[in-house]
Amino acid sequence: MAQPCTCNELAAALSVPTQQVNYHVRKLVEAGLVDRIDERRVRGTVEGIYQARAASYWLSPKLVGRLGARRTINEAGLSYLLSLAEDLQDDVAKLATEPEPAPCLGVSLHVELADSNRRAEFLHEVQEL
């Protein structure tokens, strides 16, 4: 929802019922993640136009881990990295509330897989999670 859209447009793009999208968009508006930025009349009804407040959001790795299916033991390493990222995020958030400026920190990861098929499989699993 980075670009303005209606619930009907979003439902068509996601191939889900409009009622389902309406419900979830209302919840996103209540949570302050999406704004109703405009409206228009369509066949005698008022249709809202919505847009996300941010271009992207950081989801808690612990939440993503709970929602994502754990399919193989190989994901244990990824699970550890996601937990570590969550702990790091919590620590940085605590520092941000202090009067001193919070230090900057970057984390990068290099995964090297010799077999290109395994590389594609790894990427697919990370995207699913």
pTM score of the predicted model: 0.48
Q: What is the pLDDT of residues 28-50, one digit of tens each?
A: 999 889 999 998 888 888 889 99
Q: Which domains does the chain have, with CATH numbers?
A: 5-52 (1.10.10.10), 61-128 (no CATH)
Structure tokens belonging to residue 100: 């001193």
**What pLDDT, in 10s, does the model give residues 85-103?**
777 777 777 776 766 665 6
